[in-house]
Chains A and B, each alone.
Chain A
C-alpha cells in the first residue's frame, strides 16, 4: 500500500494546527456583554414556577446543587446557564414591543439550532465525543430535537421509548425493525444507542465500537473467534451477509441460502446446483434448497474450531 494518504493527512494536520492563529482569526465584533437576571432562578420562577413542565427540571441531573458541573451547582448560572443571560428578558417590555427572548430550545423556536447547541456544548463537549464529526451535526440536528432536558425521564434516554424519538428522522431504519426478522427495537428491548452513538463516533455509521464486527461482538461474542477454520467474510464485515436493521430473510440475512451462499461459492458439485421450484416438497424435495439450505450440512458458517471442520460442517 502506498504511503501517500497517511503522509497527506499528517501534513494537513500539521498545516492546520500550526498555522498562526492570528493570521486566521476572523474579525470579531465587540459584542456587548448581556446582563444576567438579578436573582437567577428565583427571578425566573416568579413567572414560570407554575409550569409543571418547567419545574420538572428539579428532578433531573441538571438540578443537582451538590454538583458544581451542573447549572444548579453552587455558583452556577441556574436557568441562565442554558437559556442565556436573562436580564433583558426580565424587564417589562414597552407597549407594543415583544419581550426580549432568552435562548429557546426545540424545533421551530426563535433560537437557531446553532445557538441552542452552543449552549449545550459549552458544558457537554467532553461527553459528546465526536459530535463535531457526526452526521447529526452535519444535518444541524439540535440537542433539543432529541432531548427533553426538563423531563425527569428523558424519553431518548430510555431503551423502551428511544426508538420513538429516533423515528422522527430515521423512518426507514425504524420501519426496517418491523421486518419479519429484526432486532427487538419495537419491543423496547434494544435501543438504537445499543449499537450507535447518536453524538457521533469516528466509526462507520457512528457505531459504538471501532468496526461493525466489534460492535456485533458485544452481544454475539460467540462469532468472534478466531476460529481454526474461518469463513473469510465473517471476520471482515458481518453486513456482507446480514442486514442489522432487519430483513425478510431468516437470521436477518441479505438473502436466504442457498442463493446467498452461491453469490460467492459455486465449486464443482452440489454448490453450483441451482435452486429450483421443482425441489419443493411437492416435487423432488431438495436438501440443498429446503430447511436451512447449505447450512443443513455446513452449519458452522461463522467458523469452526473442530480439527475436522475444514468444510464448516463440524
Chain B
C-alpha cells in the first residue's frame, strides 16, 4: 500500500472510532398497540398458473434468451406462494417458466428476526445461430474431426468434398445457475451472511482458428463452471454501518484445449491438426471493508471501501504445437504461467449539507492492477504451421487515481445551480504512454419553476493529456503515427438534459445526451467520435383502471478513423466514416376491470438500426460506401384475462414479432466463398414468429382477489 493510501485508511479508521454513539429516539409507549386488526399471514397462500404456449416458427434470434427457438408447444407453468405461522417461521417460493428453457425457482425460508435462507435455480438459454453449417464432427469433448474422405486443398475452392460434408449445427449455450444464501441475525445490529452460486455453461460458440493465412470457423465446445462465494458480517449502529466481506471466485473449464483437423493442405509435415487453448481455469478473491458513518453535523455522511484482491491462474501449458517436428527441441520456460495479479481498490466519499440551500460532495477512488507474473520469453510455433522467433509476453498493469467534487446551491426556491469536476490519472505499465491525466468540469442546472415541471441540464468538458507516445517494438512494426485511443490526448464536450412534466394524470418525460470526442494529436487511428441521443415518454392514467403510454428514442453515433496502408516509405492513406442510427418507438395500454371481470394489455415496440460505413482509400476504385447494415424489429403483444370467479382466472396472450436484418459481413458468405476461410455461413437474422398462449391461474388460500383500489 502506498503512503497515500495508508493516510486514507488511517483517516477513515480514526474517524470511525471517533464517531459518537447517537442517542436513541425518545421511547414511544406502544404497549397498548395490539395490532388486533392486522391480518398477518398465518397459512399457505399461492398463485399458480398452468398453460400452454405455441410458437409457429423456428428462430434462434427470436428464442435467443426466451428459449422459444423452435416451432411447437411449450408448457407454461408458474407458481408463487408462501406461508407463515404465528411463531414467525415463514417460507416463500417463486417458480417461473417451469416448462421453458428459462425456468427458474427460488425458495426462501426463515425465522423472523433470526435467519433467512435462500435456494436458487435459474436457466438462461443463449441461442445464437440456427443457420450455421460445418463439416466438423465432435469427437470426445475437445476434438473436432473432419469426415473420412475429406479432400484437403490449399483453399476452400479446392475442397471438393466440402459440400457433401456439411451438416447443420446450432450455436448457443445454456447457463444453469444454482445458488444458496444464508443471513443470520445476532440481535438487530449484527448480521452474518454467506452466499454461494454456481454457474454451469454448456453448449458451443462460433469460433475460429487458422493455419497461417488460411482460416476456418468451427463450433467450439463450451463446458465450464464458475463458483462464487461471499462470506461476511455487517454491523450496524445508529450512526452508520460497517461490513467485512470475503469474495471468492473459481472458474473451472473442463476443456483446456480444442484440437481440430486441418482442412487445408498442411504447410509443414506432421500438421494434420491444430490446437488452440481455451480459457484457462482461474481464481480470484477479494477481501473488503466498507461502510459509512453519519457525521453529527451538516447532515454529513462518509462512505468508504477498502478492498484487496488477487487473480491467479496456473493452468498447465499446452505443447507449442500438435507437430512434434515443429516443436523440435524447444522447451517451455516453465510448465504453467503461475499468473499472479493483485488488485487494490480504495474509495471514500463525503456528502455534506452545510446549509439548507447548499450541498457538497467529494470523492476519492484508487484502483490498482499489479501483474506480478514472471516474464515469459520463448520461441514458438505460429498456428501449428511454422516456427517463429522468440517473443516476450507483456504484463500489463495500471494505477488509477480519481478525485471528484460537486457542489450545488439552491439559489432560488425553484433554481439549483451546481458545479462539479474530476481529476483522473492513470499510470500504465508496459504501454506506449506511461501516463494519462484527465481533468474535467461541468455546470449543472436544475429548475422546478412549477411543482409539476422539473428541468435538469448539464454541460461540461474534459481533457486528457497523455505523456510521450512511444510505440512499443514489435514485429512487424506498428505505424508510429497511430495513437491508441485510450492512451492519447482527447478533448471531450458533453451535455445532457432532462425534462419531466407531470400535470395531473399525464406524465411527460424527455431526455437527451450529447458527447463529442476529438483525439487531437492522433494522425491515425480513431480521430473523433460523436454520440447524441434523445428519448421521450408520454403516459396518461386515464382512470384508476386504465393507462396508456407512448415512447420513442433516437440515437446517432458517428466516428472517424484513419489509416495508412504502407509506411514509412509510402503512404496510401485511407479513412473510414461510420454512422450508426437507432430508432425506437412504442406504445401500450393497460385496461383493468373491464366490466369488472376482464384485464387487457397491449404493447407495441418498433426498433430500427441502420449502420453506414464509407471508406476513402487508394486506389479510389476499391473504396466507397458499404451497403447499409440494417435491422428492423416489430413486436406486438396483446393479453387478456377473465376472472371466472374470485380465485380462478383464464388468460390468453398473443405475441407477434417480425425481425429483418441485412449484414454485408455475413450475407452471401458461404462455406467456400472465401478461399482463405472455411466459413460456418451464418445468415443475417430474419424471422416472423407468432406465439399464442392460454393459461389458467388459481389462487390458493388467503383473501380472494378483489377489484383493486388505490392506496391513499
Contact = CB atoms under 8 A, between A and B. Distances in A.
Interface residues of A, number: 151
Query: Which applies to chain B's interface (DSSP): helix, strand, loop or mixed?
Result: strand
Contacts of A237: 486
Given A48-B712, A230-B396, A296-B208, A217 B284 contact: yes
B631 A222 contact: no
B113 A126 contact: no
Contact of B102 (A8, A21, A150, A189): A189
B576 A273 contact: no
Interface in B354-412: 354-355, 361-367, 369, 371, 373, 376, 378, 380-384, 388, 391, 393-396, 398-399, 401, 403, 406
Contacts of A210: 286, 305, 307, 343, 345, 347, 367
A314 B220 CA distance: 13
B710 A259 contact: no
Contacts of A305: 277, 279-280, 313, 315, 317-318, 337
B669 A222 contact: no
Nearest to A22: B297
Contacts of B388: 308, 310
A313 B363 contact: no
Contact of B456 (A38, A107, A139, A278): A139
A259 B613 contact: yes
Q: How large is the interface on B (under 10, 10 to 19, 20 to 34, 35 or more residues)?
A: 35 or more
A222 B88 contact: no
Given A58-B38, A263-B525, 4 more contacts: A137-B351, A255-B559, A305-B317, A307-B378
14 contacts: A16-B350, A24-B354, A69-B113, A132-B303, A133-B351, A133-B361, A187-B66, A228-B337, A235-B396, A267-B478, A275-B615, A277-B622, A277-B623, A296-B210
Contact of A269 (B318, B476, B553, B623): B476
B118 interface: no
Interface stretch (B562-570, B644-652, B687-695): B562-570
B479 A276 contact: no
A304 B278 CA distance: 8
Contact of A171 (B35, B199, B317, B551): B551
Given A16-B350, A178-B607, A222-B251, A264 B482 contact: yes
Interface in A155-182: 160, 167-169, 171-172, 175-176, 178-180
A10 B668 contact: no
Contacts of A125: 236, 240-241, 292, 294
Contact of B609 (A180, A240, A276): A180
B513 to A, nearest CB: 7
Contacts of A98: none
Contacts of A310: 380, 388, 391, 393
Interface stretch (B50-58, B161-169, B674-682): B674-682
A126 B305 CA distance: 14
B39 A225 contact: no
B136 to A, nearest CB: 15
Interface in A268-314: 268-269, 272-278, 280-282, 285-287, 289-293, 295-297, 299-300, 302, 304-311, 313-314
B679 A17 contact: no
A76 B711 CA distance: 22
Contacts of B711: 51, 53-54, 150
Interface stretch (B24-32, B69-77, B140-148): B24-32
Nearest to A223: B279
Query: Which applies to chain A's interface (DSSP): helix, strand, loop or mixed?
Result: loop
Indicate the member of A50, A226, A262, A297 with the most B CB atoms within 10 Å. Answer: A226
A156 to B, nearest CB: 15
A58 to B, nearest CB: 5
A211 B30 contact: no
Contacts of B315: 305
Interface in B1-29: 2-5, 7-8, 10-12, 14-15, 18, 26, 28
Contact of B35 (A78, A248, A249): A78
A224 B18 CA distance: 40
B249 A217 contact: yes
A270 to B, nearest CB: 9
Nearest to A295: B208
Given A3-B4, A65-B112, A259-B578, A16 B35 contact: no
Interface stretch (B263-271, B591-599, B659-667): B659-667
Contacts of B88: 64-67
B582 A314 contact: no
Contacts of A276: 615, 617, 622-624
